[in-house]
């Protein structure tokens, strides 16, 4: 079977390990669980089916049963953290460490560039800005962003987007957008998108002082909702975002890059009707 470094989902690795052993012997889920020291014969199958998770203690039990040690074992631990953690920062950190270990073991991490693209707000911003700054240097483009970034950071972003096929440079050295998208797994995107959303939220907060009302539109309202009303509003926001995309698609020439955030979030805990003071 493939090296553990080629996996991004620990459940897939466990299942492939089981299937590999089963092809060569009368290996069963019961035997697998017994070797790992689990009392429940179907525990590992439930893990693979996504019906339960591996605790830290369970991880240490299953590692020797799959003959994983050293960097292989550490990579597997990181996979569990990446797949199961509810904290975006932990998932992102685990994914970065997985990339480092895989690359040190000469295993190509195809998602590395996509991960880098989704890690910073400057990448999609430069993708929109570069095509309208004909003949500009990375320094000029970097300084055109608000807040500004260095020439080195701008150059790194541009080179990354060229390698991903998101930007293409013509014979005159000018950049053009392509119709290519960023290839990535759902798990990888979810590990980075929260980080980028936090960056955009901070930029929105900074815009309150950075721009006058002639150049920004930030408003909101505080309301009481039940679940049904929330779902209806969420659908309206999705429909509005699609309408915005339609309007933007008809823009033939633009002179500035904007970011629009659609935000709807709780400001309180859910109050139980039967809860007593």
**pTM (global) more than 0.85:** no
Query: In this predicted model, what pLDDT tens digit does every residue of 19-47 receive, in sequence order?
Result: 999 998 889 999 999 999 999 999 999 99
Confidence (pLDDT) at 129? 96
Confidence (pLDDT) at 185? 61
Q: Which residue ranges in the chain fall short of pLDDT 50?
A: 276-277
Confidence (pLDDT) at 277? 44
Confidence (pLDDT) at 183? 57
Confidence (pLDDT) at 184? 59
**Interior/surface letters 161-181, b for 16+ CB within 10 angstroms, e for the rest:** beebebbeeeeeeebeeeeee
Confidence (pLDDT) at 115? 84
**Interior/surface letters 199-208, b for 16+ CB within 10 angstroms, e for the rest:** ebeebeeeee
Confidence (pLDDT) at 181? 66
The domain 4-85+98-103: what is its CATH number? 1.10.260
Confidence (pLDDT) at 47? 97
Q: Domain locations in the chain? A: 4-85+98-103
Say how many Å lie between the first and final Cα of the chain, rounded. Answer: 59
Can you state the angle between helices 151-163 and 122-129, rounded to 10 degrees?
80
CA angle, residues 186, 187, 188, in degrees to nearest 5: 95
Alpha-carbon distance 52 to 54, whole Å?
7
Confidence (pLDDT) at 186? 63
């Amino acid at each position: 079977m493939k090296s553990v470094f080629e996996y991004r989902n620990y459940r897939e690795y466990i299942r492939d390990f089981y299937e590999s052993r089963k092809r060569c012997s009368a290996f069963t889920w019961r035997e697998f669980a017994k070797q790992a020291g689990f009392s429940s014969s179907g525990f590992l199958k439930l893990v693979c089916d996504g019906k339960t998770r591996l605790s830290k203690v369970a991880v240490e039990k299953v590692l020797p049963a799959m003959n994983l040690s050293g960097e292989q074992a550490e990579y597997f631990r990181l996979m569990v953290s990446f797949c199961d953690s509810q904290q975006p920062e932990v998932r992102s950190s685990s994914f970065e460490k997985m990339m480092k270990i895989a690359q040190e073991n000469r295993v190509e991490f195809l998602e590395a560039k996509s991960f880098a693209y989704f890690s910073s707000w400057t990448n999609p911003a430069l993708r929109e800005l570069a095509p309208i700054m004909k003949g500009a240097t990375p320094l000029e483009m970097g300084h055109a962003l608000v807040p500004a970034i260095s020439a080195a950071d701008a150059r790194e972003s541009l080179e990354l987007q060229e390698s991903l096929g998101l930007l293409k440079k013509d014979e005159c050295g000018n950049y053009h957008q392509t119709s290519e998208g960023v290839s990535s797994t759902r798990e990888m995107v979810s590990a980075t998108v929260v980080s980028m959303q936090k960056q955009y939220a901070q930029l929105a907060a900074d815009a309150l002082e950075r721009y006058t009302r002639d150049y920004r539109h930030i408003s909101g309202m505080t309301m009481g909702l039940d679940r049904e009303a929330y779902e209806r509003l969420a659908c309206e926001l999705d429909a509005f975002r699609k309408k915005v995309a339609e309007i933007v698609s008809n823009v033939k020439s633009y002179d500035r890059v904007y970011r629009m955030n659609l935000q709807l979030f709780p400001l309180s805990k859910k109050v139980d009707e039967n809860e007593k003071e």
